[in-house]
Amino acid sequence: MTYLQDTLARLQQTSPAQTEFYQAVEEVLESLEPLLEKKPHYLKHSIIERMVEPERQIMFRVCWVDDKGEVQVNKGYRVEFSSTLGPYKGGLRFHPSVNASIIKFLGFEQVFKNALTGLLLGGGKGGSNFNPKGKSDSEIMRFCQAFMSELYRHIGPTTDVPAGDIGVGSREVGYLFGQYKKIKNSYDGVITGKSVANGGSLLRNEATGYGCAYFANYMLEAQNSGLEGKTCLVSGAGNVALHTIDKLYELGAIPVSCSDSSGTLYHADGIDVDQIRKIKSDGNASLKDYLSTHSKAKYVARDDNPKNGNAVWHYKGDLAFPCATQNELTEVDARALVEAGCVAVVEGANMPCTRKAVNTIVKAERLFAPGKAANAGGVATSQLEMAQHAGMQSWSEEKVDSKLQDIMHGIYTRSHQAAEEFGQPGNLLLGANIAGFRRVADAMIEQGVV
């Protein structure tokens, strides 16, 4: 039995029914085979066994009162995966799909993502199965206060610094920060993604989407190309997707799609992102309403998706940016993209492509940018927010954007160089996993068995 099979078998015993977590671990460990053949000392130090086990897993109940005066109970999670390179850093997700497997896969990915930035950041993740949709502001505030009343004892500006994720935007972050400040009587940078008025950073909300577009452009420039004039398929209609669309336009590309849980919107002339924002600001509106102002656009309801696929990937595009959620782009979708001439897939979400989809894309020799590299702009700018908060400063948008571009270029360079070093130039999946792993593993060895 290989170390990969042995590790997965052990995880299935000690962490049962966590399929997303197994998927994330398997992807990384497969990529490490060339490294471990050349550098077997990583196996001698049991780095693999130590790295796949979180340093700490915290689970708690969250009791809160809804607008009807009824007590509601949700589950809360914080997985502090690795503090090797710095304080645990990773977002909080509020969504009904949240469970231990989702949080552990996200935390595991976060370790390598943060390592790739070159910044002093460990990795963690957290959240709750609470669903903010349909809740009043008062209910969301009470839930956030109840959640932080449990979480506060485990976090701190040099210990664990959460941020936002799906279902946790500036509103939720504000409520969380306010409760922490009240309990601890301390105004410190314990959570990122705050508004500028609360010590946040300019461009933090935009950073994941902007960074994704920057990474794609660096990747294409290495092929003597660029985003100028390229048609881009984008999934999602949330923060990451819309800011990816914004930056794609700025870099000369033509984003032609977006999607949400109800369906897919395609507009060959280019998505009107301002109109999408208007639609999404109305909780009762649908992407289908876009057709009332843009008659040439097309809408495909979720029920009409291709079998085992997603309609957004079955249009013609030069690049694909899955920016919605995990495992949204299937093997069926990957084949459709390859057949339609798509030259690159750039993950804006965390693990949005299934294993078989990734294999299809890589086997067809199309460029593939894994999420731990391409969507690291958000956590990178969170670290910039931490630096500003610690110094009681507020940097200009130009300064933050310049640093973001430098960080994304560094991530691309590290991934590209690692891929070349191990004889697979252009394989950024392998390169990102090796580069991230090696930085964490080397530091673990230096720190001893802790």
**What is the DSSP track for 204-215?**
TTTHHHHHHHHH
Question: What single-letter amino acid sits at 342?
Answer: C
d(CA 88, CA 100): 17
Q: In what order do the strands lie in the sheet with 344-346?
A: 254-255, 231-234, 319-321, 344-346, 367-369
Q: What is the widest separation between alpha-carbon atoms in the chain?
A: 63
**Sequence-distant (≥ 6) Cβ neighbours of residue 44 within 8 angstroms:** none
**Sequence-distant (≥ 6) Cβ neighbours of residue 9 within 8 angstroms:** 1
Under 8 Å between Cβ of 366 and 338: yes
Of the CA atoms within 13 Å of residue 298, those in its CB half-sphere come to 11
d(CA 110, CA 104): 10
> Alpha carbon of 317 to those of 21, 216, 268: distances in Å?
31, 14, 10
d(CA 54, CA 229): 44
Dihedral of the alpha carbons of 138, 142, 147, 153, in degrees to the nearest 10: 130
Under 8 Å between Cβ of 368 and 428: yes
Residues with catalytic roles: 125
